[in-house]
Amino acid sequence: MANFSDQELDSSASAGNGLLSRRQWLRLGAGGAAASLVAPVWAAGGTSVEPWRSGSGAPPSQYGDQPSLASLKREQISAHPFGPQAGASSTPLQFLNGTITPNGLHFERHHSGIPEIEPSAHRLTIHGLVKQPLSFDYEALLRYPMVSRVLFMECSGNSYRNTFTTVLDETAGGLNGLVSCAEWTGIPLHYLLDEAGLDASATWMVAEGADAAGMNRSVPLSLATSDAMLALYQNGEPLRRSQGFPMRLLVPGCEGNLSVKWLRSLKVMNQPAHTREETSKYTDLQLDGVAWQFSLRMGVKSVITSPSGQMQLPEKGVFEISGLAWSGHGSVRAVEVSADGGRSWTEAVIQSEVGKHKPVRFRIPWRWNGQPAVLQSRAVDSAGNVQPTRSQALQNVAPGFSYHYNGIQSWRVNAEGRVSNVHA
């Protein structure tokens, strides 16, 4: 993370169809890179002045709320026909780089829209199998010791449309954008549970939101007392309303639905509550007719975000392949990339910090020779899990049931440089 020496950034080796180490990329010199020579322009004296250099621009502002590109927006906004408040929006992964998702582009999934909560009137209650029920207001919670962690959050249903038989020609974000990454700051949940005092028989808690849906989920206490936090800040600022202001539960590594927004109640129990969202939904129906319940951790996964669906490569030459990788079972240990549809693989560079449930950005240079190619990435996590192919991921799953899908995403580049989703 400090100085970036070329050695440090180098991938271990290159593979077929144009994948390069950074060292190999550097050896290409000016001919292989993308600059155009400037000498003639310079010789002409450069008398033209762009309009933005000939007069002052806008002054400083109170809250800068405009992205620089009009095309930079959440996509695949889906809504229930009878209630548009129950819907989702996806992070446009193909426009982003690095690991952080800006708050304005974090994916959304609401069950009854975004409540306009007045923080001073909001309470978090801890009750059930506790020695002393407790109620916390927002101002009191701001006084507690906190922690900050960069974490991915992924909807259980992310990428589900890649399980369809029909191949959809969409963007990386449209297909896989129900995943986002942020630096979350909040109170380790066990501080609050310990204060209430857990009964010896307690094994689960039910978390409920203050939205009109009263969205609720059962969380094993083993998760709640180890890794979970009561999140109050996202990327530095108090939570956006769309992300649970004034407070949300955060269960790192687990399906996003578990991180209940607008958290108002934690009821400690000795069994799960079998709420609607863990019985009629978010279960995994297997081919043998058995439905898996509470398969909460999101699997090891990666997506190449550039080049990706609907992009157009302008010409033959060198491009950086880059993408995101994450795992609910630990940290990302490595990401391999293939440019020949999985026949050969080479390890990409992970240049950002690696940590538990922390998303990473992987990168590798690629020289496109103008021929069709299929680009794939495959993540491996610290628990030894390897991201499966699409067919491996769907092997035992009943058709149409597709939560927790983590199959490899394949992008085809055709001879014209057009990039599109394929099932490979």
Q: Which of residues 200-239 bind a second copy (CB under 8 A)?
A: 210-212, 214, 226-227, 232-233, 235-239
**CB-based contact 299:412 (threshold 8 Å):** no
Q: Pick one of 27, 84, 281, 391: the residue that binds a second copy (CB under 8 A).
A: 84
Beta-bridge partner residues of 303 = 324
Q: Pick one of 108, 278, 284, 347: the residue that binds a second copy (CB under 8 A).
A: 108
Q: Does 415 bind a second copy (CB under 8 A)?
A: no
Q: Does 152 bind a second copy (CB under 8 A)?
A: no
Stretch that binds a second copy, among 61-69, 295-303, 373-381, 392-400 (CB under 8 A): 61-69
Sign of the CA dihedral running 225, 227, 228, 229: positive
Q: Pick one of 16, 24, 144, 286: the residue that binds a second copy (CB under 8 A).
A: 144
Task: Find where tokens 């099932």 sit.
Answer: 423
Please tell me the count of residues contacting a second copy according to CB under 8 A.
139
Q: Pick one of 13, 34, 287, 291: the residue that binds a second copy (CB under 8 A).
A: 34
Q: Strand 301-306: give its sheet, edge to edge.
A: 301-306, 317-326, 360-368, 349-350
Q: Does 370 bind a second copy (CB under 8 A)?
A: no
Q: Does 170 bind a second copy (CB under 8 A)?
A: no
**CB-based contact 357:151 (threshold 8 Å):** yes
Q: Pick one of 116, 166, 288, 415: the residue that binds a second copy (CB under 8 A).
A: 116
Q: Does 132 bind a second copy (CB under 8 A)?
A: yes
Query: Closest Cα partner for 240 from 117, 125, 60?
Result: 117
Q: Does 9 bind a second copy (CB under 8 A)?
A: yes
Q: Which is nearer to a second copy, 131 or 343 (CB)?
A: 131
Q: Pick one of 158, 159, 302, 322: the residue that binds a second copy (CB under 8 A).
A: 322
Q: Does 25 bind a second copy (CB under 8 A)?
A: yes
Cβ burial 20-51 (10 Å sphere, 16+ → b, else e): bbbebbeeeeeeeeeeeeeeeeeeeeeeeeee
d(CA 123, CA 133) in angstroms, rounded, equals 13
